[in-house]
Structure 1
């Protein structure tokens, strides 16, 4: 039992580290929209121009969206049924890991009051930048939002290939939930 308790922090750390590489996806949509009516798309330049991301990454995102939509049978058009826009934001994520190892225990510490006593107590703080990518699909005729996907995850990577793969992962996981299933 003691060995299991000593290994628990390691297992938790592994779970946290493996979850850092995943993309957390959320979607929302207009329940009144008939998604079967949408066959064509175009990019909404005014919305895309406002996205606070460098032009290289914008092009990577747009190529990934275009590829995913075309794989689903949608066609890029000058006279589209649906407009595609993106926007981004970033958040600073702070993770604190309390790795308490050793023979210490909680108890009365004299003039220090209750708290951890003796043993090795090591707190580790990790900060990463998490990016959030939003994909908006807009009815071209009504100019109304019909579907929105958001993907949140760690974007920092030094390799161009890894960055491109990460962007593709974001877009793929988000658009996997488009169009929404009929209920």
Structure 2
């Protein structure tokens, strides 16, 4: 009975982890014609202030570069049409689950039974991360588009998994850019 409960709980947790969805929102200046943008660069001063290790920062910038290049934009250091800035936030979530199990020869139900089972409290933590991608018009010197991706981050030490998760975040956020009117 305990083995069956363990495997069913493990299967549910595996399913929830594999279905880790990323929620995306975006906002933009409705007066901007996004068809005018052809070239981009990264806003170094802003990116340098992001509180993130250099390896993950590089992974995010590479993923953004790949996505924008795939959409036909050209990266340049000479008079870009728009600049990319990023910033991140992370919040620790604590989840407490209390399961009271009891067994009865007459089936499950409310009330007192002579066959009480164990009470188990489980405490788990997870990190919810947010990645903001800002598009800044270099002529107007203003924010014209912002995309935000929110999702749960794994504490995996595997480089491939980190890169895959970062790529997924960036891809889903930039799916809404450029805005087509």
Unaligned 5+ runs, structure 1: 1-5, 109-117
Match of 1:180 in 2: 179
Q: 115, 130, 133: which is aligned to 2:131?
A: 133
Count how many residue pairs are aligned between Structure 1 and Structure 2: 166
More moved, 65-74 vs 10-19: 10-19
* Partner secondary structure for residue 83 of structure 1: strand
Instruction: Summarize the alignment of residues 31-50 of structure 1 with structure 2, pairs less than 5 Å apart.
Output: 31-50=30-49
Q: Describe the shift of the 1:162–1:14 C-alpha distance in structure 2 as closer, same or farther (beyond 3 A).
A: closer
1:131/1:155 contact within 8 Å kept: no
Distance in 2 (alpha carbons) for counterparts of 1:71 and 1:121: 54
Q: CA deviation at 1:14?
A: 6.3
Q: 107, 122, 129: which is aligned to 1:124?
A: 122
Match of 1:70 in 2: 69
TM-score (norm 1): 0.78
Instruction: Summarize the alignment of residues 72-111 of structure 1 with structure 2, pairs less than 5 Å apart.
Output: 72-77=71-76, 78-103=78-103
Distance in 2 (alpha carbons) for counterparts of 1:67 and 1:41: 12
Q: Describe the shift of the 1:49–1:161 C-alpha distance in structure 2 as closer, same or farther (beyond 3 A).
A: same
Distance in 2 (alpha carbons) for counterparts of 1:47 and 1:180: 23
Cα deviation 1:108-164 (Å, max 9, x = unaligned): 9xxxxxxxxx54443322101222111111111111111111112214220111111
TM-score (norm 2): 0.79
Match of 1:112 in 2: none
Q: CA deviation at 1:87?
A: 0.5
Distance in 2 (alpha carbons) for counterparts of 1:25 and 1:120: 41
**Could you say what the CA RMSD is over the residues aligned between the two structures, in angstroms?**
2.5
Q: Describe the shift of the 1:95–1:56 C-alpha distance in structure 2 as closer, same or farther (beyond 3 A).
A: same
Match of 1:148 in 2: 146
Distance in 1 (alpha carbons) for counterparts of 2:16 and 2:144: 34
Cα deviation 1:53-72 (Å, max 9, x = unaligned): 01111111111100000000
